[in-house]
Structure 1
Amino acid sequence: MNFLRLHTALPIMCLFCLVDVAGARWTWRNPLPQGNDLKRVWGLAPDDAYAVGTAGTILHYNGTEWIWFRPITTEALDDVWGSSTSDVFAVGSGGTILHYDGSGWTAMTSGTTAALRAVWGTSASNVFAGGQSGLILHYDGSSWTVMPSPTIILNGCLNRMWGSSANDIFAVGDFATVVHYDGSTWQKMNSGTSDWLYDMWGFSSSDVYAVGDDATLIHYDGTSWTPVVSGLIYAQIRGVWGTSSSDLFLANGSGPSIRHWDGSAWTQAPMTRYVVSVWGSSASDVFGVGGEGWIVHYDGSGWSPMTVGTVEQLNSVWASSASDVFAVGSNGTIVHCNATVCSTMASGTTRDLYGVWGSSPTDVFAVGWYGVILHYDGAAWTRMVPDGSNSGSSLWGVWGSSGSDVFAVGWSGTIRHYDGVGWTTMSAPGYSYRAVWGSSPTDVYAAGQGGSMAHFDGTSWTSVSCGATTSFESIWGSSASDIYAVGVPGSQRMLHYDGLSWTPVSVPTTGSLLGIWGTSGTNVFAGGGTVFHYDGVSWQARSTGIGGSVARAWVVSENELFTVSGGEGGQILHFQNTAPVANGGEDQTVKENLGVALDATATSDADADVLTYRWTQISGPAVTLSDPNSPTPTFQGPILASQAPNSIVFELTVSDGYLQSKDQTTINVTPHTFADVPANSMYYPSVEKIVSRAITAGCAAGVYCPDMAVTRGQMAVFLEKALRGQAFVPPAATGSFADVGTAHYAAAWIEQLARDGITAGCGTNIYCPEMEVSRAQMAVFLLKTKYGKDYIPPEPQGLFNDVPTNHWASRWIEQLFADNVTAGCGNNNYCPDMTVTRNQMAVFICKTFGF
């Protein structure tokens, strides 16, 4: 299970954070435990609470820490409920239902793609879910089924469920919908309001509350629903929970605030973030959750945040290493992340900051609104220029080739330069620039509004005509002839410069691209909410898998980067990826015109990513792979025209979607073994297979004698070597058979065959080693060797015309057919008395033993 832990104690503070990154590239760095919107909080006990939200977010509180479960879905989750610590359900968009069994979450089959907004039950085998258009599902412990619903909510949903028992369940929803289940059927109720209802809670069958739009708070007394004064005006009340009618908490989704009713008066606790759901285990242990991962806790005297880290908008990020990351944003916010924690730094300004860049950990620059420029020397941030410098033009981007060659660009054509001593304003074409980047001090680009672009050659800035009319937000390149500029929607949302001209690039999005960055021409990232990656071939959209939004980033290394969202919530994501290690298998030596299998299954990836494979032949006689994108493709080896050995070299490219790894494998092709079994013979593959396993070396130097009949002596050698492998050497012969002297070439093999119970000879104490083997005898030999001496095939059925069921070998012959070793000799005959040639025996052995 992959998770992130936020260790807390009350009062809440982050003690330490631990991320399990195995098999997971993206993790949250700010805020913690995560920054996706939370939509519901619910629990069983003070040490057993859950929160769910967008992008499949699930958190668990164990009384000490919030644990973030790595999502198994990207769908938004709207509600959570459970009967025990090992039986918890979460529901959400797209018909999503997840179940937790105490060790991990798994997806359930809901039978619908409709959005589900509510879940509640009375036991593990009596669970209800409600959602889109009034849909109601029921789970009986085995499967989910649709229940008849008393309402159809056009363009609306059932949003919450609660009950006092299995025979008293309520559901509320959009358009003032309230329905009730009495254990038999669902019935529609009169809610007494015209407003949408979002949440409900109750204490008994006659004491139930629901909340919704226009400050709606209604109460059910067992007879009817009536309005209750909430003390709010035009508020959207998103959540309700309490311990009794004199201890109610309301989540004001438009406040932001949490209101409390003590039985006599309402009090209000302002929040810095919207809270949409509340739940508690007691009057002094209450949780509230909301936007951007916001979690607060009430201890009976006051509310305190459990979410750690800033929620200010962050606009830009730069890092000198993975343990030295700077992000800047609104209201002068500067966040610094070391290897374990992110913390806010004192910036000395409340101006919004838009760009950050550094030459080292002790030489970092930040620029922003009204011309502000800050510098960090490793100890503190200080202003480099007075506010309002350069007529107060805001600065949006900063970049340098060194600490004494820094450029800042901004509004109304502003470009400022730092030479290590002071900042000066440069003369430049009068556009508004949003980004700056260069490959060297004499090759710097600034890009901005309306497709404006300028170039600095070390002496002066000149306008660049790139053909764009839409505005640029970011520019980056791997070299002077490999540069990208990205921006707002349009046909020129991404342009590429190859050293000669700028051309549009197709990217799979219709939205804006706010950032571009990379490590090389084959490892480039672009951000526009979603992250996009270029591998040197094409641009692909890549999900973070954990939600969040990606706008701008800084690449620390080929396999590590940090991103910010450019929006509220203070989101900082960390991407860490290990390149796969391609392994194309050992080099092989094979015979010509034989099937060859390539094998990349030894390829590894430390992140356990799903990998793609691509085999490319780079030298040797051309061959055709069965599937170049398979880890184990096959091909037919070439026939060597000159009978001289040749080599085929393949390159394997393995990708995890971000990084690639390559390996080469050489296949050495050698001529056929025997002069009398050419490479185009139908028996050639089988003969070469038994040769490669040392089952035979032929009948003489360089020849196989393919048409020679197999003798019983030869058969003994063939069978034992096929059964036991080429390393087996039988014990010395003792003269068991009168007609097989101990000096006979096959004596030891014949006696081993007898010891294995495969044969008892051809008569009393004789073996007949020079007798030719018939096809009937061969069937018995092969099957006894394969299945053992005690094997007896099934009763024969009379499959072959020339093998009646009373034939002594009929059952063995038919089993050989059943094993797909032979189909007979033609015309539905088997030819049982025909002798077996060495060619045929090679085929029989290979098919019998699966060679």
Structure 2
Amino acid sequence: MKNSLLALCLLLFPFSACETDLKDGHYTCDPNEPGACPDAWVCQLRGTDGIYRCYESGEAYCQNGMLDPGEICDGAELGEFTCEHGFAICLTNCTAICTECGNGRIELNELGVGEACDDGNTEDGDGCSSNCIIERSYCVVPDSDECLNWCGDGTINGPELCEPENLGGYDCTDFGFHDGTLACSADCRAFDSSQCEGFCGDGDIHDVEVCDGIQQKHLSCWDFYFSGGDLHCDTGCLREFSGCFNSWNRHSVNTTGNIISIHGTDDTNLFAVSFNGWVGRFDGSTWDNEQLAGDPMLRGVWTIAPDDAWAVGNFGTLLHFDGSTWTATTGFESLHLTGIWGSSSTNLYACGFIPGYLLDPNNPESPFIWGVGIILHYDGVDWTEVLRHGEALEEHDVTFLGIHGSGPNDVWVVGPTGQVWRFDGIDWTRVTLPPEYAAWEFWSVYALNPAQLAFSGYKDTYEGFVLQLENDVFTELEIETDVVVKQIRGTSLADLWAVLENGSVLRREAAGWRILAPPLGSRFFSAWNDHPDTLWIGGANGQLMEYTGEFETVSHEFPQSIMRIWGAESDNFYVSGQTGALHHLENGVWNEETPPDGMYIYDLWGPNKDLVMAVGRRGRSALRTNGTWASITTGIEANLTALYSVHGCGASEIWAVGATGTILHYNGAQWVSQVSGSTAQLNDVFCVSPSAVFAVGNGGTTLFYNGSDWTTLNSDTTKNLTAVWGTSRNHVVAVGNDGTIRLYDGSRWNPVESGVGVTLRDVSGTNARNIWVVGTSGVVLRYAGVRFSPVVVPGNPTLNRLHLQPNGRILAAAGYTFLEYRSKLLPRPFVTMECPSTVPLYCQETRSFDTTSLPAVIEDWGTGGNSVTGFNGPETAFTFDAPFSGTVEWKLNPGLTGARLIVLSESAWETCDASTVVALSTTGNDGGQTVSIPVVRNEKYSVVIDAPAAVTGSITSTCTR
């Protein structure tokens, strides 16, 4: 045995003294060599010198990979040892340390465990992370075996945004450019747009832009069916029309033909026809389009009711509509019918001609058409011929082109070469024209009554004309045009509409003809109106437009600048001038009235036209009763304190306010002074009720009267407040200097954005959704339930005062005259809600709304699969125009109990047609109603807020590509 051990000793330790006495850990060994230690002994690494030795038994020891008593760690077993920063490393002596990443040294234990790298910093993205781990996909160039991915390998990894040959699907358009080549930067961490071309804002109009900055392709507001104004370009290079006079509304119909005739009984029963066989029916909200079989050449239409209409045209076309089907009357195929008119369903007339051809002796290859004039009559059963004229060759062109009447015994027909015919209930007779008109081409006639008519056409000098016939006297109305006046319409001889073939529309008033032209260069053929402030016109390529009114200067001019307008009735009101003069309109006549003792009037108000209170300079007051003015003692005359405003809630509940905090109350018998608690100049007062009266003044002063005492309210502004108006004690609006608007909600005044910086001089309205404000520089703002939007006024005059008449029209004082906002649509917002809103909602924007005091209108949204039962509360709406393709989400603020969002598609833009509901949020969730839909660029939507009761809140729009 000892020999064997000696041999082993010599083999293993040739340079050591050989001992034959075995001791634990005395002999070194190789753990990979069999028999390295005696039988039953083990070759193990114990201690910190890294040398394997022979041990008699395999008891617990350091480096056995197990955490034994007394050890902090053992190999990969770290026990409870952790590091706040860096890696935990177990040393070979079973103690542990923490590495310090970023010190520039790669710290490992004796076995090579620890940091994989250390580049002297703790930044990511440079190949060695902040935790000293090799960033295998962050290498810019493949200079190490550790770089599994690198910039240039074609794959977008780690912090890379792109690769030279892989841009991730992006191109120049994603970065606001229109064209060019997008590239990737040298380190793959940024896009290079230096070779991209064209962007919104560079001043050039590119193919995908409609405008850029001031560049509008030489277009103006007129080219987009407005009466005038300034056309702007928004930040998305889309046209912005807020600076245009919003008077024309283009209707979208499904025809490209020439709309040759329009007629209706009112704006809920309107028919239009085109020369290519299209018929449109308008019910007040939508157009129903129908292309008739055979594409007949239609030239006239007349309707008595939605289920009773006639259309006429070439080749004897006579069609009757019974509400569902058009039925033809035959037997007149040799005629070309050009017009139709009727007084009832059993008394209609159609005019036209029998076509023929004559050869021009100077050009036998080019025959020209001529006609024999024809008039047909319908008695409710049959159409019969009642007049034929022009069979003689010397009268070869008596084509009848226009027809109109004022009643069954007053019907007129006109045509070329001075053809004017009249039916008086018995016979048709030709009207003898003055010689100077005998050769003119008559295209249109409009009969106001048997004694007043208007005619239009063009002269033998090819200039357009308008004639009036009043009490058998023809008079030419001067109009400068070298094109045909195709149609003439109006409400009186002093208020006529002339539609010119070149696209111009003129309106005649006392001051002369005024241009209301839609786009120049268009061709118009037809016109119809049922209201003094609306006109429908039809033209080439399916153009169908409705004029709905605008601010217009009235013809009456006063000798002084106007300071105030007020009246209890629409046709009975007062205008006060700058020098205190008082002008009164009654029964259509203006009269100047003299206040008592030369009183200088600042303001006036009354509960009716028979009781009017006026206040003014030096604390004076006057009362008009039974048509007579009389002074009323105020008790402050000696103080010479000016009274600037008066308003009340009845004959015995009238308040006046003025300088140095003065407040007076009229109890029906006398003025009584009240304590205001303020010394500020008070500029306006408004009575909501006898126990809710508001006054405003300089320095942001706002006062409230509760029926017994006046108290001061904090308006949160020091701006001078000039006017106040409200619908209830919880909804009051005050306006003032520098575009200041404040809204009182019953507990505090809240700031409201006006968008202007000028002095706002007056505010008035009819309900919480219809509020108007006027100011200097022609500023007119309208609030429709969401925000104040501008209404452009021609000439930008300084507007002093505002008055809303009972008939819905708006009067605004402007210099030596006043403006009247003429629009048949004005009464509509007072009682209804239309889906389209003038208030846009943009991406990444939050807008406030308040439906308090608004009417509840929409009962049901939809008739099909997307039908929605409307709540009983009021609604409000926003418009949304998608700036790009992607997804848009609309969200209401939390806490709006029961409120929801209804999204309507573009086809419901003007109709509130619920069959076009495209999305609906979930009710019952007060955490914030949300609806999200995919959108395509330039798609339009109406976003309606519907609730069971009035709500005040906000809506947020979020867009993602």
One fold, TM greater than 0.5? no
TM-score under structure 1 length normalisation: 0.36
Give the TM-score normalised by the residue count of structure 2: 0.32
Point out the structure with max Rg over C-alpha.
2
**Quick check: which one's helix share is greater?**
1
